[in-house]
Amino acid sequence: MHNLPLHRLKHFLGLESRDAEAFAALLGEQRHFDRHDIIRRAGHTPPEIYFLIDGWVASRVESQQPRSQIVKVHLPGDIMGDSSLALDHSAETLLALNSVTLAAVPAGALAELFVRSPRFAASLFLIAQQERVWLMDRLTSVGRTSAVHRIGGLLLSLHDRLQAIDPSRPPSYELPLSQHEIGNVLGITQVHANRSIIRLEETGLIARNGRLVTIVDIPGLRKFSGVPQREFSGTPEWMRMLRSLSSSG
Amino acid sequence: MHNLPLHRLKHFLGLESRDAEAFAALLGEQRHFDRHDIIRRAGHTPPEIYFLIDGWVASRVESQQPRSQIVKVHLPGDIMGDSSLALDHSAETLLALNSVTLAAVPAGALAELFVRSPRFAASLFLIAQQERVWLMDRLTSVGRTSAVHRIGGLLLSLHDRLQAIDPSRPPSYELPLSQHEIGNVLGITQVHANRSIIRLEETGLIARNGRLVTIVDIPGLRKFSGVPQREFSGTPEWMRMLRSLSSSG
DNA sequence: CGTGCACTTGACAGCTGTCAATGCCGGTGG
DNA sequence: CCACCGGCATTGACAGCTGTCAAGTGCACG
């Protein structure tokens, strides 16, 4: 049994709230996937969302082949598939990048929680906004920087997010993406991704050992990649007035 | 006095709901801006959001100069500034592209409406998801297609959104963006934007007359640009169970 | 030991950025 | 009214970044 990574939900809810646990109670059976398994294919839309418990998942937009693009790499604690709640046909394919454990929440159960706790609703709203900000940063990186800088930005932002899950973790992690997939995230080809990784390594900002990536110089890489370090507020003032499960039952 | 463009709010709420009007009642005084005026600068975060009543607004992420990137072109009916509700320091600068009329809603008032109408909360959540999907499509366009295709995709998606505001509108509109700004949206330089626009015009898919853009062949341009036509569900089934102002007072 | 997948490297073409000059046009001051 | 000016659009020349094609290497796995 995994210890559920509720850090993202709790970030906006605040520590006194029990809403994260209420959300966890909605989770269905845990499902497991292996690398390259497709969790949900674009076009299908079972009205449910997914909570990523363990492993990495890519969210890929299928434009006309072979122009698909990985728009998000999900890490444990992420909510997945929610961007397709607004669509009749989901926009993204969810693809396991390594061994994955997740659980689903039906949209109806989510709606009930929206009613029971406006604060939970606001929190989910803010998490979606957080995803928008990250997506905007990624668009900026892809739109305005060269391949080497994009790689740096990707490796750094993954580091930042892993750090948020486990602050005691050293600046080093196993990257389960192939270079083809890395290129797919960054909007470059596999061959050019390879060359750019090597050139980034030559700057001394990162080091590699197989797929183990180490950020050697975090401030240096942050400056180099130009990716801003976003500081997301905890529970905003206006959110404290919202009823939470902790105060209603 | 403008007729408020509530089409986007009503899309998910459904016609029987009075929530869109309740939201409209929260709007502060109308404010006016001229082209090039800065509505809100990145870094500042008054806890409020904006409702765009008339005109076009660019949302620009300020990375280290001069690497800023326009991540969204807002049209009437859009909610602006909400992606920064989660941040201590807003990520985006809002910039008037032509004559703009808008009104603000304090975050506190928004929170009250979240409590009074879970259905409104869900609607705002879905609008944020819709923005995520569009942003994902834009990232795909920038990441995986050449400059000519990106221009086509931008012009087509603007057409689609204008069409959603006024379905009777002909496939022709005044584009208030300079070529420098177009390049800034697409992740290319002004010079290359110019060349690409001219090459797109030569395909016969679009026509120009000054800044008046006409989409000559809509299906052709859709195929050419590779931008999918997203169909956003109206009120999803799971949302119908949510209490709305129409049924609670 | 063969097979398949991922990574690496080279050569070359094509797309895009940079630098620079020209033309156009509306607004301003003389 | 006209000269001047600044912003924007257009064009040319050239360099540099990135994609494509192709071949070779290394490694895990059966």
Query: What is the tens place of the pLDDT at every residue in A219-249?
Result: 999 999 999 999 898 888 899 888 887 554 3
More confident position, A2 or B121: B121
Band of residue B249 on the pLDDT scale cut at 50, 70, 90: very low
- Is there a contact between A84 and B133 if contact means CB atoms under 8 Å apart? yes
Q: Tell me the C-alpha distance between B79 and B103, whole Å.
A: 10
pLDDT of residue A130 exceeding 50, the answer is yes
* Residue B80, CB, strand D, below 7 Å: no
Q: Tell me the C-alpha distance between B46 and A86, whole Å.
A: 29
List, in order, residues 6 or more apart from B60 with CB less than 8 Å away.
B42, B68, B69, B70, B71, B92, B93, B94, B95, B184
pLDDT digits over A71-90, tens only? 999 999 999 999 999 998 99
In angstroms, the separation between the Cα of residue A1 and the nearest Cα of chain B is 30
* Residue A58, CB, strand C, below 7 Å: no
Q: Tell me the C-alpha distance between A217 and A189, whole Å.
A: 26
* Residue A191, CB, strand D, below 7 Å: yes
> Is any Cβ of chain A less than 8 angstroms from the Cβ of B144?
yes
* Residue A146, CB, strand D, below 7 Å: yes
- Is there a contact between A239 and B111 if contact means CB atoms under 8 Å apart? yes
pLDDT of residue B248 exceeding 70, the answer is no
CA end-to-end span of chain B, whole Å? Answer: 28
A167, exposed or middle or buried, with CB in 10 Å at 0-12, 13-18, 19+? exposed
Residue of A nearest to B115 (CA): A118
Band of residue A3 on the pLDDT scale cut at 50, 70, 90: confident
pLDDT digits over B132-179, tens only? 999 999 999 999 999 999 999 999 999 999 999 999 999 999 999 999
Chain A stretch 168-227, residues whose beta carbon is closer than 8 A to a beta carbon of chain B: 186-187, 226-227
Are the CB atoms for A238 and A18 separated by under 8 Å?
Answer: no
Are the CB atoms for A103 and A28 separated by under 8 Å?
Answer: yes
pLDDT at B2: 60
Average of per-residue pLDDT across B199-203: 96
pLDDT of residue B1 exceeding 60, the answer is no
Average of per-residue pLDDT across A98-125: 95
* Residue B194, CB, strand D, below 7 Å: yes
pLDDT digits over A187-202, tens only? 999 999 999 999 999 9
Kindly report which listed range (A12-21, A95-104, A237-246, B52-61) carries the lowest average pLDDT score: A237-246
pLDDT at A150: 97
pLDDT digits over A20-63, tens only? 999 999 999 999 999 999 999 998 878 999 999 999 999 999 88
Q: Where are the alpha helices (DSSP H) in chain A?
A: 7-13, 19-26, 107-116, 118-144, 147-165, 179-186, 190-203, 218-225, 245-248
Distances (CA, A) of A110 to A46, B122, B155: 14, 10, 37
pLDDT at A249: 38
Residues of B in contact with A121 (CB under 8 A): 114, 118, 121-122, 125
Give bridge partners of residue A40 from the DSSP assignment: A94
Nucleotide nearest to B143 (CA to C1'): D18
pLDDT digits over A172-185, tens only? 999 999 999 999 99
Q: pTM score, two decimals? A: 0.96
Band of residue B59 on the pLDDT scale cut at 50, 70, 90: very high
- Is there a contact between A242 and B111 if contact means CB atoms under 8 Å apart? yes
Dump strand ranges (E) for B48-185.
48-54, 57-61, 69-74, 79-80, 92-96, 100-106, 172-174
B204 Rama sector, left if φ>0, alpha if ψ -120 to 50, beta otherwise: left
Nucleotide nearest to A188 (CA to C1'): D18
In angstroms, the separation between the Cα of residue B25 and the nearest Cα of chain A is 19
Specify the amino acid at residue A219. P
Band of residue B23 on the pLDDT scale cut at 50, 70, 90: very high
Mean pLDDT of chain B, nearest integer = 93
Pairing of strands B206-209, B212-215: antiparallel
Who among B83, B226, B233 is closest to A86 (CB)? B233
Band of residue A66 on the pLDDT scale cut at 50, 70, 90: confident
Who among B82, B106, B238 is closest to A47 (CB)? B238
* Residue A35, CB, strand C, below 7 Å: no
CA angle, A76 then A78 then A82, to 5°:
150
pLDDT of residue B43 exceeding 70, the answer is yes
Nucleotide nearest to B193 (CA to C1'): C16
Average of per-residue pLDDT across B219-233: 93
Nucleotide nearest to B186 (CA to C1'): C16
pLDDT at B246: 60
B50, exposed or middle or buried, with CB in 10 Å at 0-12, 13-18, 19+? buried
> Is any Cβ of chain A less than 8 angstroms from the Cβ of B232?
yes
Those nucleotides of strand D lying less than 7 Å from any protein Cβ are: 7-13, 17-22
Specify the amino acid at residue B241. M
Inter-chain Cβ pairs, chain A and chain B, closer than 8 A: 214
pLDDT of residue A186 exceeding 50, the answer is yes
The 10 Å CB-count burial string (b at 16+, else e) for A195-213 is ebbeebeeeebbeeeeeeb
pLDDT at B17: 86
Specify the amino acid at residue B180. H
Who among A106, A139, A144 is closest to B139 (CB)? A139
* Residue A98, CB, strand C, below 7 Å: no
Average of per-residue pLDDT across A129-143: 97
Mean pLDDT of chain A, nearest integer = 93
In angstroms, the separation between the Cα of residue A19 and the nearest Cα of chain B is 15
